[in-house]
Amino acid sequence: MKAIAFTILLLLSELALATNLRGRVDIRHPYTGDLFPASGATVELILFTNFGPQLVYTYFTGSDGMYYMPSIIPGNYILRINGYLDYQIQVVNMPYQDLQPVLMQ
């Protein structure tokens, strides 16, 4: 019984440490210079471990340019856009975290 209770507590503690990430990718219109949401952008969340980079999550933005990454363990990550634009981010321990928008060049 104690073991079950311990397991449940352990699982709940894991859940409490998970953050739902949200952010937006923009693109500058090459013709007019206006800013638009970048649809179809590949957003990857990468964790650097002792064994090298580890892909944690991949998301393809919709027409609103938004990306959503549920249940991310707090820590330091690299947010990679379209495989070439890297941003260093810190995921904090809170239920939801909005990241600063990213501009695709």
Binding residues (CB under 8 A) for other proteins: these are: 25-27, 29-32, 34-42, 46, 48, 53, 63-65, 78-79, 82, 85-89, 99-104
Rounded to whole angstroms, the Cα distance separating 99 from 80 reads 13
Q: Which is nearer to other proteins, 17 or 104 (CB)?
A: 104
Q: Which is nearer to other proteins, 83 or 95 (CB)?
A: 83
Rounded to a whole number of angstroms, the minimum distance from the CB of residue 10 to other proteins is 32
What tokens were used for 58? 């991949």
Classify the phi-psi angles of 33: left when phi > 0, otherwise alpha if psi is within -120 to 50, otherwise beta.
left
Rounded to whole angstroms, the Cα distance separating 55 from 64 reads 24
Rounded to a whole number of angstroms, the minimum distance from the CB of residue 34 to other proteins is 5
Residues 6+ apart with CB under 8 A from 16: 93
Q: Which is nearer to other proteins, 48 or 68 (CB)?
A: 48
